């Protein structure tokens, strides 16, 4: 409210510092060389997908060129991208993982 009832104006705080964090989509990109099983493993390991969901996402990326692994706040999305890129490089696969603001 804005008034106590005796003509005394009172400023009430309508928002105390809470702000919805921006969200980022983490995407996998298709390529011709990364093995399908490796992509499924990445989705299970870094994005907590079950085997069936991971397989569906992998086929979606394979068929459409790009697909969503998950939606996260900036720092979490950044970490996922770095982890996937490191893991792919360690295994010498050209798999690309990127993030985009929703």
Contacts with ligand TYC, residue ranges (CB under 6 A): 28-32, 34-36, 39, 58, 61-62, 95
C-beta closer to ligand TYC: residue 18 or 32: 32
Report the distance separating Cα 97 and Cα 28, nearest Å. 5
Report the distance separating Cα 60 and Cα 23, nearest Å. 22
Closest by Cα among 61, 65, 71 to 25: 71
Read out DSSP for 23-59? EEEEEEE--SSS-HHHHHHHHHHHH---HHHHHHHHH
Least Å from the CB of residue 21 to ligand TYC: 27
Closest by Cα among 90, 67, 87 to 79: 87
Least Å from the CB of residue 52 to ligand TYC: 16
Least Å from the CB of residue 85 to ligand TYC: 12
C-beta closer to ligand TYC: residue 56 or 62: 62
Least Å from the CB of residue 12 to ligand TYC: 51
C-beta closer to ligand TYC: residue 29 or 76: 29
């Amino acid at each position: 409210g804005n008034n106590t009832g005796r003509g005394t104006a009172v400023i009430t705080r309508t928002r105390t510092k809470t702000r919805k964090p921006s969200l980022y989509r983490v995407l996998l990109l298709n390529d011709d060389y990364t093995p399908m099983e490796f992509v499924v493993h990445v989705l299970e390991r870094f994005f907590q997908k079950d085997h069936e969901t991971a397989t569906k996402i992998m086929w979606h990326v394979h068929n459409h060129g790009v697909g969503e692994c998950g939606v996260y706040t900036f720092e979490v999305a950044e970490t996922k991208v770095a982890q996937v890129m490191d893991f792919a490089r360690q295994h010498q696969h050209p798999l690309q993982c990127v993030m985009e603001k929703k």
